[in-house]
Structures are given as structure tokens and as C-alpha cells.
Structure 1
Amino acid sequence: MAKTNPLTYLQQARAEVSKVVWPTRREVLLTTVMVFIMAALTAVFFALVDILIRSGLQGVLSLFG
């Protein structure tokens, strides 16, 4: 592996950072809202699955207990 001069490294790093396409404020806002919506839907889904499993297990245990 070739050693790189620190100055060259900084120049290359700066060149790479300038190639980055940063998201707009609107894109960040929409993505954030979508993450919150998906997190809420996932929480509701797992809450319903938990309720179904709990009620099913209570039903089975009430038959034998």
C-alpha cells in the first residue's frame, strides 16, 4: 500500500467531498416524515401481533388451567 503525502490526502478528500450531492431541505423533511410514519405503522403492527398472541395464549392456557 502506497503512502500518501498528507497534503495530497487532504486535496483528494476535499475533491471527493465536493462530489457529494447533498439533499435539499424539502427532501430531508419528506424523508424524516416518512421515517416517522413507517415507525408508527410498525409499532401499531407489532402491538396488534402482541395482542393477538397474548389473547391466543390466554385462551389456550384457560383450557388447561
Structure 2
Amino acid sequence: MAMTNPLQFIQQVRSEVAKVVWPTRREVFLTTVMVFIMATLTAIFFALVDLLIRTGLTGVLGFFG
């Protein structure tokens, strides 16, 4: 691995950071809202699946128990 001059390294880092495209406030807001919506939908889905499995298992155990 080649050693680079610290000054040259800092210049390279600054040039790479200048290439970064930061998201706008609107993009961050919309992405955050979408994450919350998807998390809520996922939680509802798994709650319903859990309820269905619990009801089915209770019914089977009640029938044979």
C-alpha cells in the first residue's frame, strides 16, 4: 500500500465529499413517512397472522383437549 502525503489525502477527501449529493428536506420527509407507513403495515400484518395462528391453535387444542 502506497503512502500518500497527508495534504494530498485531505485534498482527495474534499474532492470526493464534493461529489456527494445530499437529499433534499422533502426527500428525507417523504422517505421517513414511507418508513413509518411500512412499519405500521408490517406490524398490523404480523399481529393478524399471530391472531390467526393463536385462534387456530386454541381451537385445535380445545377440540382434542
Question: What TM-score, normalized by structure 2, do the two folds share?
Answer: 0.93
Counterparts of 1:1-65 in structure 2, within 5 Å, are: 1-65=1-65
In percent, how many aligned pairs have the same letter?
A: 77
Structure 2 residue runs without a partner (length 5+): none
- Following TM superposition, the consecutive aligned residue runs of length 4 or more in structure 1 with deviations greater than 4 angstroms are none
When the two structures are superposed, what TM-score results if normalisation uses the length of structure 1? 0.93
For the aligned residue pairs, the C-alpha RMSD in angstroms reads: 0.8
